[in-house]
Amino acid sequence: MDSNRGQWSSKVGFILAAAGSAIGLGNIWRFPYIVGENGGGAFVLIYIIMVVFIGLPYMLAELALGRSVQRNPVGSIEAIKPKSAWKGVGYLGVLTGVGILSFYGVIAGWTVGYIYKMLAGRPGGFAGFIADPIPVLILFAFFIFLTALIVNGGISGGIERWSKILIPLLFILMLGLIIYANTLKGSGKGLIFYLNPDLSKITGKTILAALGQAFFSLSLGMGLMITYGSYVSKQENIMTSAFYISLFDTLIAFIAGLIIFPALFANGLNPSAGAKLVFVVLPDLFAKMPGGALVGSVFFLLLSVAALTSTISLLEVPVAYMVDEKKQPRKKIVWVVALVTYIIGIPSALSQGANHFFTDFGWLPSRLASADFLSEMSFLFGDFSLVVGAFLLSIFVGWVWGAEKAADELALGSANFNRFRKVWIFMIRFFIPAVIFIILLNLFGIFG
């Protein structure tokens, strides 16, 4: 073990840091609006099936690879298959970390802005707010700075320490909001929409949307779990850890729905408002309620907290690569990577009306993503790249490294893994790559 790399100080610390990566805007902002667009309870059911049968077993593959060779995604692949083109998959992961962070940090900056907007009693004007370049760029800078500050602290002293505080805080804040939302008059209809699956609403599109959301939400496909797994000690039980990470991530998404749908239906609003659900519909709703300024502000505080534990992890992937492979000191390289990411993010920050060129960018076909730069980055890195990465990594672990060796690694520290060994090997070699391949075809619109 390279003592300069750092290690999680405890199993709980690791689980909370990885859960912190998984839990983010994907759970509280993206999950509810995708549920709303895909018909409610039926989507929730399919999503849970995807997490259990694809997300969780795939996560085990990334964690096993990372812990086995204790390197970043590029170094891990190099250690298993030196001087091969497979290393490109590692580079793709590092690049994807920077790519996602560059637009995710912009949205995270908006959430910080809304903490203030709600308190100040100005819940409206979302379109104007995100089109105003100066505040948006400052909030984005603030968020990246905060992220870098924590990653600068290292593994146990920075990421682990802060995740242990922020994730329980998030849980508590959200539990309070569930009670608040479900005591509103008329909220019961929201619960029915959310929890009563109407199976006739399940289509091919529902299934594929659920799969893509599962990858993004569980932070899979870019080697984040390889990186976080590389700081896990050999005595640790990876199987139960992965179980808890997936459970917490799914629970937070589920809780977000328990807050948002009752609140929406209590006000007779439409659940399929799309991406603006959280920034337009909810603030409006809060504003109409007694004490809503404070509740709304707390809500955006928790959204910022959730985003922060994810941006930390997004920055850690390229940083780990530079520390391991380029022998850069963490405390210097963190700031360099953060600055580069910020610069790459500027077009996204200006793409919501501030600048014509980036607002109407439109390099991708319109059926894949909206024309603004941020949406195009979100499609390229948040959807496409994760799915491609997951497809290649499952083949790498299943066939190149070898599913048997990966299974041996998983069995270290978890004796009970052997009960699932055969099933897992089948899944990583055949089932998972096949299913991901189908999502990939769908991204290209093969299924119309």
Q: Which residues bind ligand PFF (CB under 6 A)?
A: 21-22, 24-27, 100, 216-217, 219, 222, 224, 310, 313-314
CB of 125 to ligand PFF, least distance (A): 25
- DSSP state string for 2-67: -TTT---SSHHHHHHHHHHHHSSHIIIIIHHHHHHHTTTHHHHHHHHHHIIIIIHHHHHHHHHHHH
Question: Least CB distance from residue 290 to ligand PFF, whole Å?
Answer: 31
Tell me how far, at minimum, the Cβ of 419 lies from ligand PFF, in Å.
29
Judged by beta carbon, residue 316 or residue 324, the one nearer ligand PFF is: 316
Among 382, 391, 375, 383, which residue's Cα sits nearest to residue 433?
A: 391
Q: Answer for the pair 306, 28: CB distance below 8 angstroms, yes or no.
A: yes
State the minimum distance, in angstroms, from the CB of residue 391 to ligand PFF.
15
Which C-beta is closer to ligand PFF: that of 222 or that of 282? Answer: 222
As measured in angstroms, the least distance from the Cβ of 101 to ligand PFF is: 8
Query: Which amino acid is it at 101?
Result: L
Q: Which is nearer to ligand PFF, 252 or 407 (CB)?
A: 252
CB of 184 to ligand PFF, least distance (A): 27
Per-residue DSSP letter, 382: I
- Indicate the residue among 137 and 305 with the shorter CB distance to ligand PFF: 305
Q: Say if CB 17 and CB 163 are below 8 A apart.
A: yes
Closest approach, Cβ 405 to ligand PFF, in A, equals 24
- Distance of alpha carbon 428 from alpha carbon 58, whole angstroms: 7
Q: Which is nearer to ligand PFF, 115 or 252 (CB)?
A: 252
Shortest spacing between CB 74 and ligand PFF, in angstroms = 15
Residue among 293 and 303 whose Cβ is closer to ligand PFF: 303
Who's near 7: CB < 8 A, 6+ residues apart?
1, 155, 156, 231, 232, 233
Smaller CB distance to ligand PFF: residue 25 or 60?
25
The phi-psi region of residue 366 (left if phi > 0; otherwise alpha if psi is between -120 and 50; otherwise beta) is alpha
Indicate the residue among 36 and 292 with the shorter CB distance to ligand PFF: 36
Mutual orientation of helices 292-325 and 161-182 as an angle, nearest 10°?
150
Distance, in Å, from the CA atom of 324 to the CA atom of 75, rounded to the nearest integer, reads 7
Angle, alpha carbons 171-268-41 (nearest 5°) = 55
Residue nearest to ligand PFF (CB): 26
